[in-house]
Amino acid sequence: MVDLPLGFSHHVANIGIKDDTDDFVIVAADRPVPCAALFTKSRFAGPSVLLSREHIADGMAQAVVVISKNSNVATGATGMANAREVAESIAERLSASPTDVVVTSTGVIGRQYPMERVRAGIVDVPASLVGRDALAPATGMMTTDTVAKVAEATVEGSEARIVGMAKGVGMIEPDMATHISLVFTDAELSPEALDGAFRRVVDRTFNCVSIDTDTSTSDTSAILASGDAGPVEIDAFESALHRVCLDLTKQIARDGEGANSLIEVHVDRAADVDQARRVAKVVVNSPLVKTAVHGGDPNWGRVAMAIGKCSDDTDIDQEHVVIRFGETEVYPTQLSDGDLAALSGYMRSDHVIIHVSLSTGDAESTVYGCDLSDTYVRFNADYTT
């Protein structure tokens, strides 16, 4: 069992939004602590996102709330009033300030919170939270996830721990944040140091995962630091934070709706990191590349096609690009039909690496996604019906 870091506890319950599983999560400290968060850039961002942006502006927070299976998006003034009521009511239960409560929501768009159920659930929140295991809140956050996602690391040179949890398997193409991910640490850091480290790590992890090219209206990534384990060296902290967030990133990609394979696209010898990530994203997001992996088809032409869509990158010359599946070069080396057939087994594996070298510079980037199956199409075709 993975426990939350020192200084944090939780309350997890079913308040009737889901039929039979937990749908209401609070993780809190006993006082306001340094906090950093990143949110979706969607023009349809929900009230929870808009409210939480306000609340973390001072770099401090005490509690994070997740209401699962209802996103409270496109719900107008009533939805905003309901989000504020949630923050205020939970703050009252915890003897906290409403502005120190971060509210997150995930689920179907366009439906108001069932406030009578929410109010009844908040009444049952104890004044002192006692839950310590990280799996319970990670499970309570789930919507279409098939497994709860938890990761942990210890900061080198200290006893400080970092524990993260995430939900999300569909509608994931990050834009400053992705899905809902909550990270907690007992390391002692200033709000400014925490924010800087978190932004850098999110950019290299959560912003490098894509399931289906769709950006959620509710994306939220937040981190709170209790400081109970004492000060840490910032580079060591950032390294441990990267391990946690990268672990969660891969778990998200593996659990993509209907997915059988984690697709890792590594682009190197690029002009800069932006070019490397841009090319990697266009490959991992290609429906034809995704379906080729799902079918075990070593059709490298689909990867070449995807790279070619980066038409503004005029420094990319097809004569100098190298494409590999795993360690096997498939372009420009011409493989026999027999050699390509032998790659079919690799393409069906649960972790497929596509490696592209651009020969435009020395930068690199890696992104993560998954294959595209008929299960994904069927599931999302029937999502609300």
Mind telling me the catalytic residues? 178
**Separation CA 184–CA 160 (nearest Å):** 11
| Cβ within 8 Å of residue 343, ≥6 positions away | 298, 325, 326, 328, 330, 335
Q: Which two tokens stand for residue 160?
A: 């400080």
**Separation CA 88–CA 197 (nearest Å):** 30
Contact 275, 313 (CB under 8 A): yes
Q: Which two tokens stand for residue 130?
A: 């006692």
Residue 346 gets the label, from left (phi > 0), alpha (psi -120 to 50) or beta, of: alpha
**SS3 label, residue 108:** strand
**Separation CA 243–CA 201 (nearest Å):** 9
| Cβ within 8 Å of residue 241, ≥6 positions away | 153, 162, 183, 185, 197, 198, 201, 223
**Separation CA 111–CA 43 (nearest Å):** 18
Residue 210 gets the label, from left (phi > 0), alpha (psi -120 to 50) or beta, of: beta
Altogether, the residues listed in the chain come to a count of: 385
